[in-house]
Amino acid sequence: MSEPQQPPVPPSVQPLPAQPQYPASGQQPAAAPYPPAPHYPTPAQHPAAPSAPAQRTGNTLGRVALIVALLSAGMRLLTSLLYPLVYPGADWTIGVFTAGSTGIALLGYITALVLGVIAARRPGPHLWAGIAIGLSAAYLITLAIEWASSMLYRFL
């Protein structure tokens, strides 16, 4: 293995040149304008300190929960926009389309809610987790109300 590359030594750390000889006339040499720089050891002379893992500044699980909630909400929005295209089809296509999109969105909202609650219980910032919890809970309540109203109208 080759030796590690050493950085050049800065001029302030290099040894001072030999002092010039002054005549023995009794005069004191003039004081140096600056005191000599202290000698600091080079980094290679220090033992390698164990590197600490970098601190994460965000709550990754909270972000994931928010992304899942937004994707589920986007899918429900896309479903409502595509509903008129499916409507001219048979009754079973509308039922399958609605049940499939609602089921996938329901799983997404439940996943986002669980991930948001787990992220909120962890130390660190809770903004993304709180938004994910609120968004997914609101959509879950909306889905429950939609389901209850459709059951009510079906039996009336």
Position 44 in a domain? no
Alpha helices in 35-126 (DSSP H): 60-86, 91-121
Total count of domains within the chain? 1
Distance from chain centroid for Cα 109: 21
pLDDT digits (tens, 9 = 90+) for 51-81: 655 555 668 999 999 999 999 999 989 888 8
Position 7 in a domain? no
Please answer whether residues 66 and 131 qualify as being in contact, where contact means their C-beta atoms are separated by less than 8 angstroms.
yes
Please answer whether residues 121 and 94 qualify as being in contact, where contact means their C-beta atoms are separated by less than 8 angstroms.
no
Handedness of CA 36, 42, 48, 49 (dihedral sign): positive
* Max avg pLDDT among 13-22, 85-94, 133-142: 133-142
**% pLDDT > 70, the chain:** 67
Could you tell me the CA-to-CA distances from 145 to 7, 138, 149 in Å, in that order?
Answer: 69, 11, 6
Position 31 in a domain? no
Query: Percentage helix, strand, coil, to 5, in the chain?
Result: 60, 0, 40
- In single-letter form, the type of residue at position 33 comes to P
Position 38 in a domain? no
More confident residue, 50 or 70: 70
Position 140 in a domain? yes
Please answer whether residues 118 and 63 qualify as being in contact, where contact means their C-beta atoms are separated by less than 8 angstroms.
no
Position 47 in a domain? no
Please answer whether residues 70 and 134 qualify as being in contact, where contact means their C-beta atoms are separated by less than 8 angstroms.
no
What confidence score (pLDDT) does residue 99 get? 86
Taking the whole predicted model, whether its pTM rises above 0.85 is answered as no
Residue 156: which pLDDT band, with cuts at 50, 70 and 90?
Answer: confident
What confidence score (pLDDT) does residue 62 get? 93
Position 20 in a domain? no
Mean pLDDT of the chain: 80
**Non-local CB neighbours of 128 within 8 Å, separated by 6+ positions:** 58, 59, 62, 63, 65, 66, 119
Q: Residue 150 sits in which domain range?
A: 60-155
Position 103 in a domain? yes
